[in-house]
Amino acid sequence: MEHIISVLVENKFGVLARVAGLFSARGYNIESLSVAPTLDPTTSMITIVTVGDDRIIEQIMKQLNKVVEVLKVVDLTETHFLDRETALIKVHTKPEHRDEAIRIADIFRAKIVDSSSTTYTVEITGDVDKVEALINLLKPLGIKELIRTGRIAISRETTRTASPRREPALLKS
Amino acid sequence: MKKTGAEIFCESLRHEGVKTVFGLPGGVVLKIFDVLCQQKDIQFILTRHEQGAAHMAEGYAKATGKAGVALVTSGPGMTNIVTGLADAYMDSVPLVAFTGQVSTDLIGNDAFQEADNVGISRPCTKHNVLVKDVNDLAQTIKEAFYIATSGRPGPVLVDIPKDVSIAKADFKYPDKVSLRGYNPTIGGNKYQIKQAAEEIMRAKKPIIYVGGGAIFSDAADELRELAEITQIPVTMTLMGLGSFPGSHPLSLGMLGMHGAYWTNMAMHHCDLLIAVGARFDDRVTGKLSEFCPEARVVHIDIDPTSIKKTFHAHIPIVGDVKTVLREMNVILRSMDGNPAEMKALKAPWMKQIDDWKKAHPLSYKQDDKVVKPQFVVEKLYELTKHEAIVATDVGQHQMFAAQYFKGNRPRTWLTSGGLGTMGFGFPAAIGAQVAFPDRLVLCITSEGSFQMNLQELVVAAEHKLPVKIVLLNNGVHGMVRQWQDLFYEGRYSASLLGKLPDFVKLADAYGILGLRAEKPGEVESVLKEGLKHKGPVLMDIHTDPFENCYPMIPAGGAQHEMMLEDPPELKLARKGGPHKRKVDEGEGVLPA
Ligand SMILES: Cc1ncc(C[n+]2csc(CCOP(=O)(O)OP(=O)(O)O)c2C)c(N)n1
């Protein structure tokens, strides 16, 4: 089964290599991986999408936790979570296809972020299904280049009842 | 006052209580060596190969429980210690390896003797760091020792570029480390411990299975107490030998591939398996699907990844073995039941084990023409009155030593278990002897393994380290030859060591005593003479090239399906008949 694992790490030299090396050395899969700093500049968040049965996922979680620079490991698949991916898709657009490309992009609320006389570059953000559906629809037009960020994910708040206005007050206390 | 990186290095070692460093110099570490030679209280042992330094540091660490320290240069110096790092990683040996690196401004330029030390060592170290700023050096060293020796111990590599060793910084040795992402669990979960204690009280056919973790955690006393109050028999892995006295009535000796018959049978039939600091290695379990089929499993280990990695655990307890056992013993004592009752409860089980033992004791056929390796180990055991630190290499001799030299104390058995590194034994023996100059240190080895690091003979001679090398010289890669006889129709591909050096002359060339025994009748007098000698000795004992090590669970075979002696086809082949036996290794299994 597919799992999305968030790994909070110290923002230090070689940490990504250790995490990635652990996957390759033990034969675990990495479907996608994304890394960026968090609010705290001394830490980064690595989001890894992997597949494995329960035993393998348990080992992956434990092995990640064992890395000295790893601060926290969460298997988001165990919780309610939101995941998003961004893709930039450069499509060939023959004159007769330019309208069609725009229409497809519109349906998905994707944006045309660059255009030339023969191409459009479409930007889409969404869950994997949405991104893949768009890619599939654009394929017949001819995709020249495609780049995806890999997935990032965040847990949903379990108590979503608090009104946004009260949040600053809550933060202060 | 500001200090150079090299001075900070030496001061830091002093703060860590380091007395001995093993290694070999080179260009980028010259500054460090220059300062090191001026320290009166830190002994430097110059090895003749960096691999020797790494294994010496391991031997030192295994015998003392303190971190072993190695210092080598960049590039080839570093790559030469990789085997030692991998060995230490597998066997959880606390090791701090310092490697030189080219200056920071040259890193990445393929500079002379540059290697990606951190990259190369990453998969075989617990942690590693490139120190880019001299201001971080002391903190990094403090953390390196802390990480190497705490939790599940392991090797840590600190890579020091040349300019960092020369640059200056204020020195203050940190008195604490706080690492946000590293905090080993020490105390086990109380509820789980209580659960385990209850199962232990109820079990009728329990067995305690102990690994190296019990030794690193100094839990021998607690382990003995557990066994004695509950009257549960104890078996040890290759790494766990010494954690429980081998001569104790409750000791079942070693289990696994070459474990005793009664031990593996007891494992197979137990109803409760109490795993203590062990990791269910494939050499222990054999075929996993048939391992301990009837057992409930309690697994105590400080490393959560060891639990449920290959085998299930009904009651997992993550924590330091000593701390957990201590707490468990308190609970067990407070429960109803006393040793006498416990003994009565387990009497049928102990009787069963005893029957297995009587049916198939460890045995070999004595011969009056060729020396049997088991005989040599038995004699050694007798002559030393069981009191010695024993280092071994890897192969048949290692297994014979494990079977017949029944150690009684922790930290007296130094062997390469996880990685199975030939060449480990002799330098490890030197490392232990450096730590304990007055104790008897034996190196039980064989000519194949010994030739992998014999350059260190000169270290024993130079420092007058009285290591007693017992070379079970069978002229073959015995363990390989055994597998070829059993699984490859006796085609001895690359296992017969045709040309061998004259080991007595070799000893002489290095300035140490060499002795030789070629017949069974000569063994005892050679051993006696060697053991009596004040300095290092190499005893070249010619042993039977065709002796096999039994019991044996063929790789992939189930635990209770042991081979106990040469199969009939092999016996026939020995008499000149055809070598017909063809069994795929791991698949064909003879019933016990
Ligand atoms: C460095 C290394 N290379 C190869 C092996 C594979 N191997 C395992 S046992 C063995 C033979 C050991 O021969 P020897 O040291 O003479 O011991 P014996 O089995 O004869 O007692 C070999 C080659 C190993 N364990 N380590």
Tell me the sheet residues that pair with A123.
A88, A111
Which residues of B lie closer than 8 Å to A, measured between beta carbons? 118-119, 122-123, 126-128, 130, 132, 147, 179-182, 303-305, 308-309
- At B294, phi and psi to the nearest 5? -100, 5
* Residue A143 burial class via C-beta count within 10 angstroms: exposed 0-12, middle 13-18, buried 19 and up: middle
Domains of chain A: 2-78 (3.30.70.260), 82-152 (3.30.70.1150)
CA of B359 to the centre of ligand 1 (A): 31
Partners of A14 on chain B (C-beta within 8 Å) are 118-119, 122, 128, 130
Lowest mean pLDDT among A76-85, A161-170, B327-336: A161-170
**Residue B90 near residue B415 (C-beta atoms within 8 A):** no
* Residue B179 burial class via C-beta count within 10 angstroms: exposed 0-12, middle 13-18, buried 19 and up: middle
A69 vs B: CB within 8 A: yes
Give me the average pLDDT of each 10-residue run along chain B (592 residues): 96 98 98 97 98 98 98 98 98 98 96 97 97 98 98 98 98 94 94 96 96 97 96 97 96 97 97 97 93 96 95 96 97 82 91 97 94 98 95 98 95 98 98 98 98 98 98 97 94 93 98 97 98 98 96 91 93 79 45 30
Q: Any idea which residues of B carry the catalytic annotation?
A: 50, 112-113, 162, 479
ipTM confidence:
0.89
Is A171 a residue whose pLDDT tops 50? no
Q: For chain B, how many residues are written?
A: 592
- Give per-residue pLDDT as tens, A3-54: 999 999 999 989 999 999 999 999 999 999 999 999 999 999 999 999 999 9
The angle formed by the CA atoms of residues A45, A79 and A150, to the nearest 5 degrees, is: 40
Ligand 1, residues B394, B396, B400: which to mutate, most atoms within 8 A of Cβ?
B394
- Check residue B573 and give its pLDDT: 87
Q: What's the rounded Cα separation, in Å, for the pair B107 and B235?
A: 50
Q: Which is the CATH superfamily of the domain at B190-359?
A: TPP-binding domain (3.40.50.1220)
Of B500, B502, B506, B507, nearest in space to B530 by CA: B507
A11 vs B: CB within 8 A: no
Q: Which is the CATH superfamily of the domain at B2-170?
A: Thiamin diphosphate (ThDP)-binding fold, Pyr/PP domains (3.40.50.970)
Q: Looking at domain B373-587, which of 3.30.2320.50, 3.40.50.720, 3.40.50.970, 3.30.1280.10 is its CATH number?
A: 3.40.50.970
- Check residue B576 and give its pLDDT: 81
Q: What's the rounded Cα separation, in Å, for the pair B55 and A21?
A: 25
Ligand 1, residues B477, B482, B483: which to mutate, most atoms within 8 A of Cβ?
B477
- Give per-residue pLDDT as tens, A127-164: 999 999 999 999 999 999 999 999 999 999 876 554 44
- Check residue B577 and give its pLDDT: 72
What are the residue boundaries of the structural domains of chain B, listed by start?
A: 2-170, 190-359, 373-587
Q: What's the rounded Cα separation, in Å, for the pair A34 and A49?
A: 9
Which of B118, B127, B181 is nearest residue A71 as measured by Cβ atoms? B181
For B283-428, strand residue ranges (E) read 296-301, 315-318, 389-392, 413-414
Q: What's the rounded Cα separation, in Å, for the pair B220 and B326?
A: 11
Q: What average pLDDT is seen over chain A?
A: 90
Q: What's the rounded Cα separation, in Å, for the pair B324 and B328?
A: 6
User: Using the 8-state DSSP alphabet, how is residue B107 labeled?
Assistant: T
- Check residue B248 and give its pLDDT: 96
Ligand 1 pocket, residues with Cβ under 6 angstroms: B 393-397, 420-423, 446-449, 472, 474, 476-480
Nearest CA to ligand 1 atom 16: B448
Partners of A68 on chain B (C-beta within 8 Å) are 126-127, 147, 179, 181-182
Count chain A–chain B contacts defined by CB atoms under 8 A: 39
- Same topology for domains B190-359 and B373-587, yes or no? yes
B132 with A10: Cβ contact below 8 A: no
- Check residue A160 and give its pLDDT: 59
- Check residue B226 and give its pLDDT: 96
Joined together, the tokens standing for residue B347 give 């009497």
